[in-house]
Amino acid sequence: MIFKDYYKILGFETNRITIDDVKIAFREQAKKYHPDLNEGSDMAEERFKDINEAYRILSNPSSKRKYDRSWNSNIGKKRNREKNAQNINQSDTVFGEVMNMFFGAKKEEKTKKVKDKPQVKGENVETMINVSIEDAFFGGTKKVSLRAIDRKNENIFCKNTSRN
């Protein structure tokens, strides 16, 4: 599911806004991207549709709450984790160097070495597949698409058989 950032679409940096702010921002963006003022521009038409959708969601308090909840549970947590990881990496340079002297390379440096390793034909590939409880118990088939070294997609069928 693709989440659109309705706050950014209306020109906000944060979600701490009032309904009056939403109305004002909607009018400004609607004037700027209205299809009658931007004839022949498909981008302006799509942008205007997004602006209308953002206004419809954010101008209603209950739909705004639902949107905020779903945004925070799907996108916001990931962004916060990324920001925290960046802050930790920037703040612990001296501490990390001292720890590196005593305990070896950092975790990030180890993962970089693994990622930089060239692919070898015939090498094992590990992946995670979501499986329902029924498929895990009764058995099922999943289709996995892998990109080979020569950039061709290869479809592999993984069959899970149950032990009845």
Residue 135 pLDDT more than 60? yes
pLDDT for position 70: 84
Average pLDDT, the chain: 75
CA 124 – CA 108 distance, rounded (Å): 22
For 52-99, how does the pLDDT look when each residue is reduced to its tens digit (9 = 90+)? 999 999 999 999 999 888 877 776 666 666 666 666 555 556 666 666
Residue 146 CB partners (closer than 8 Å, separation 6+) = 125, 153, 154, 156
Residue 105 pLDDT more than 70? no
CA 104 – CA 112 distance, rounded (Å): 15
Q: Give the total residue count for the chain.
A: 164
CA 49 – CA 118 distance, rounded (Å): 45
pLDDT for position 136: 81
For 111-129, how does the pLDDT look when each residue is reduced to its tens digit (9 = 90+)? 444 455 555 555 666 777 7
Quick one: tokens of 147? 């990109």
